[in-house]
Amino acid sequence: MVDDRMTADSPLDDPTGAEGVAPEVGEGVPQQPADENSGGDERSVEPGGRIPRPQPLGAFPLPAGLLLVTGEGSDEVRRQLLAGHRPAVWPESLKGVELAYADDLEAAADIFARDAASDPAAFYNLFVLSPEMVDRPALVEALGDEWRPLVDTLAYMYGLTSVIPAAGEAGGEIAAVAASAQAGAAVEEGREAEALRHLRAAATAAQGVNPPYEGILRAEIASRTGSLTEADAAVALLADTDLTAAYAEARYQQASLIHELAMAGKRPIADAIAGYTDALSRISETDYPPLFARLHFNLGTAYLAAPVTSRQDQLRAALAVQSLRTAVRLLEQEEEEPPEWAAATLNLANALVYAPSGHQRDNLMEAVDLYETVLRVRSTRFDPAGRARVLSNQATALSHLGLFGDALARFGEAEEIFHLLGDEAAAKVAHEGRENAAAGKAPELIPDEESDGGESDPTIGAQPHSAGKTPADEPGEAPAL
């Protein structure tokens, strides 16, 4: 997900971010003569009137990622874009496309409007940037039936029609874009199995034709199925491209799945750490804060899950705290507090309590405050088990600070909740903590970590945040459609 993208977070979302406005019937591009100095005499089609294929549709940020790339000298540019690379040099015949890829959409639209009367590809590109200026039946007639599914897909995406596009006989990159839109429609209606079927069809259509787009689609499949095979394929397809955030997203999916296997003893946790670290090296906090936050969340839990066998290993605790601080800070900045925020805050508090430090008292005091913050959103009514666990952890930290009165009250509340839930083992631990606090003794520090928005685990950093879709706010390089 390079640069700015109009899509919200996956190939299944409306990339316009709005419904769009349908053009007036009969409203089209003025039939203006080609300017002899404008390049208007230079057709964008091959001999015989056919627009060359495959076209680089879907992988790059919208709307540029849906433009047709044709004209003199366009073959090399098209080859580079299909490989996921931004051209260093653009021929003059592609000035409008170059401007669109540089986000100068108004200037690009002016060029396409100038050439639309004599150039079917420019006519289509104008529709991509300014659909209100184009008469769709006239556009389909100019392009030919081969391109109808693409025009129909854009019309559906822009809210100009409620008819879900069909791929028809187009195949290749056109079919991939149409199938992706069909998947999005299925998701909106809650038909997950159908959405996956369309996503797989889209990935198959893009295979060998548009590898970067195939990679983006396979990352989406991995996020919805938990398939490491799909995640591995996505990473391989996106590795050698300029689509850095799409690659980081795929790496996030892959590392999260490896992290889960590591917790089951089936993969080294170091493999997950390497994946998260690689993904973070490809993106910036400024451009991709949601993905950056979730990568740091998982990286912090992975650091804490790694076995400590030497003094050098203890340095990971400091790295974990640093990553979790970053995650909490960025998650707090999101418009609606995400479910991961509480889990990340709790992980940070637990890391401060249990990780070795020369400033243990300061860490304990900060942890007590963090636990209190989490308790504000963990009510007995909606998450009694989560609240009781946080109370127990906070009581432990209070005991080690010598604040036994406060600890006694929190252990007591936790014990009562655990009894009501029938969790007698946890109630026994809380009862023992309460007895220790009453005797002025601090309990042993035994990690009790939470990882994913409500799921608890007795091991620090045990599980990663779900490898599901990441809300990649703009700018983003999420899958295109």
With both helix axes pointing from N to C terminus, report the angle between 244-263 and 269-282 in degrees, rounded to the nearest 10.
160
Domain ranges for the chain: 1-209, 213-282, 284-465
pLDDT digits (tens, 9 = 90+) for 373-418: 999 888 888 899 999 999 999 999 999 999 999 999 999 999 999 9
- Tell how strand 455-457 and strand 449-452 pair up: antiparallel
Does pLDDT of 238 surpass 90?
yes
Task: Indicate the burial class of 48 (C-beta count within 10 angstroms; 0-12, 13-18, 19 or more).
Answer: exposed
Between CA 142 and CA 19 the distance in angstroms is: 25
**7-11, 217-221, 457-461 — which one is most confidently predicted on average?**
217-221
| Residue 24 confidence (pLDDT) | 36
Q: What's the whole-number average pLDDT of the chain?
A: 84
| Residue 356 confidence (pLDDT) | 76
H or E element that contains 44: none
pLDDT digits (tens, 9 = 90+) for 246-290: 999 999 999 999 999 999 999 999 999 999 999 999 999 999 999
| pLDDT interval class at 305 (50, 70, 90) | confident
Q: What token pair was written down for 34?
A: 């080609």
Between CA 330 and CA 348 the distance in angstroms is: 14
Does pLDDT of 336 surpass 90?
no
pLDDT digits (tens, 9 = 90+) for 431-479: 999 999 999 998 766 554 444 333 333 333 345 665 444 433 333 333 3
Between CA 70 and CA 112 the distance in angstroms is: 12
Between CA 182 and CA 191 the distance in angstroms is: 11
- Judged by DSSP in three states, 380 sits in coil
| pLDDT interval class at 34 (50, 70, 90) | very low
Higher pLDDT, 32 or 289: 289
| Residue 282 confidence (pLDDT) | 96
Q: Class assignment of domain 284-465?
A: mainly alpha
Reported pTM: 0.81
**Who's near 2: CB < 8 A, 6+ residues apart?**
60, 61, 86, 242, 243, 244, 245, 246, 477
